[in-house]
Amino acid sequence: MKAIIIEDEELAAQRLRALINECDPGIEVTAMLESISDSIAWFRQNPQPDLIFLDIHLEDGLSFTIFEEIKIKVPIIFTTAFDEYAIKAFKMKSIDYLLKPILREDLCRSIEKYKEWQGDKGQFVDLNELIQIIAPREDSYRKRFSVAVGDKLRTIEVKDIAYFFSSSNITFAVTFNKRQYSLNQSINNLFCELNPSEFFRINRQYLVCHKAIENIYVYSKSHLKLELNPPVTEMVFVSLDKVPGFKKWLDGK
C-alpha cells in the first residue's frame, strides 16, 4: 500500500511518517510534499497513491486548490486544527480527519477506517461541498491581536499591521507606524487567520500586507524583490514558487 503526505511543517510530516509506520509497516510513504505547487507537479508526474494524508492549510493556501487542477480518485485522511464546529461538519460528511497534534491511536483508527473504505467507494465525499463548509467567511478573519508591552497588555488592529515576519522561531508584527510586537503564533497559523485578499505569504519568513509594498524589483529568472514600508534591513524576496500566485494576488484575483 502506497501513501503520500502533504504537510508544510517538516517536523510534523516526519512525525506522521513515523506514526504511520508504527500503525501499519505495510504502508509505504512514497512522497512528502510541502506545498500546493509541489503537490500539483507531483500528481502530474506520478500515479496516484492508495491513500493521501492531507494538511488543509499549507503555506501557499488551502490545499483544496490542488483539486482544481488534479482529479483525486483515492481516499484522503485530513489533518486539521479546526475547531469543534468544523470537526462536526467533517463527521457529518463521513470524512476521516486527524486533529493536530496527531495521536497514535487516532491515526491507527483512521488507517483501519481507510481499509473499510476500500470496499465502499460510495463513501467518498464531494470536495466542493467540503470547501463550502470550511472556507473562511469574511467576518471570521482576525481583526486584532493582544500583545504584551512590558507588564501590560494592549491590542493592535490588523488594519494597522504592515507585515509579519519570523526570526529565531519568534513571530513579530510590524505596524505602519514602525512599532514591532512579538506574537505567540506561528506564521503558518497567522496565514490561516488573515484575509488572503489583504495579506500574502511571500516566503517562509514574511507575510505582507499589499499596502506595505512600496516597490517591486524584477531580477533574473523571475525573482521578485520587495521594498517594504516600514523598511527592513535585509533583502526580501518572493519565493520563486510563489511568484505566479503573488502576481495574481496583486491583480486582485
- 101 cis-preceded (ω within 30 degrees of 0): yes
131 and 7 within one domain? yes
CATH code where residue 193 lies = 2.40.50.1020
Q: At what angle do helices 84-92 and 127-134 cross, to 10 degrees?
A: 160
145 and 124 within one domain? no
Single out the residue in 103, 119, 135 at which a domain terminates: 135
Supply the pLDDT for residue 48. Answer: 93
176 and 85 within one domain? no
73 and 173 within one domain? no
Supply the pLDDT for residue 100. Answer: 80
206 and 149 within one domain? yes
Query: Is the pLDDT confidence value at 134 over 70?
Result: no
98-119: average pLDDT: 85
Supply the pLDDT for residue 175. Answer: 97
166 and 115 within one domain? no
Domain count, the chain: 2
Tracing cell 524584477 back to the chain, one arrives at 218
Query: Is the pLDDT confidence value at 82 over 90?
Result: no
130 and 96 within one domain? yes
CATH code where residue 56 lies = 3.40.50.2300
Share of the chain above pLDDT 90, in %: 45
Among 51, 133, 40, residue whose Cα is nearest residue 91: 133
Single out the residue in 117, 135, 153 at which a domain terminates: 135
130 and 8 within one domain? yes
Supply the pLDDT for residue 182. Answer: 93
95 and 37 within one domain? yes
Is the pLDDT higher at 230 or at 93?
230
CB 16 within 8 A of CB 5: yes
220 and 129 within one domain? no
Among 188, 150, 151, residue whose Cα is nearest residue 169: 188
SS3 14: helix
Give the model confidence (pLDDT) of 2-52 as tens digits.
999 999 888 889 999 999 999 999 999 999 998 888 999 999 999 999 999
Supply the pLDDT for residue 131. Answer: 64
Average pLDDT, the chain: 85
DSSP for residue 238: E
Distance of CA 141 to the CA centre of its chain: 15
Share of the chain above pLDDT 70, in %: 85
DSSP for residue 220: G
247-251: average pLDDT: 86
110 and 188 within one domain? no
Among 128, 16, 12, 6, residue whose Cα is nearest residue 57: 6
Segment among 57-71, 166-180, 220-234 with least mean pLDDT: 57-71
CA distance readout (Å), 77 to 22, 113, 115, 182, 197 = 17, 10, 12, 34, 29
Q: 202 is in which domain, residue-wise? A: 139-250
Query: Is the pLDDT confidence value at 133 over 70?
Result: no
27 and 45 within one domain? yes
Query: Is the pLDDT confidence value at 138 over 80?
Result: no
CB 180 within 8 A of CB 233: no
Let me know the angle formed at the C-alpha of 41 by 53 and 80, rounded to the nearest 5 degrees. Answer: 25
Single out the residue in 106, 135, 164 at which a domain terminates: 135
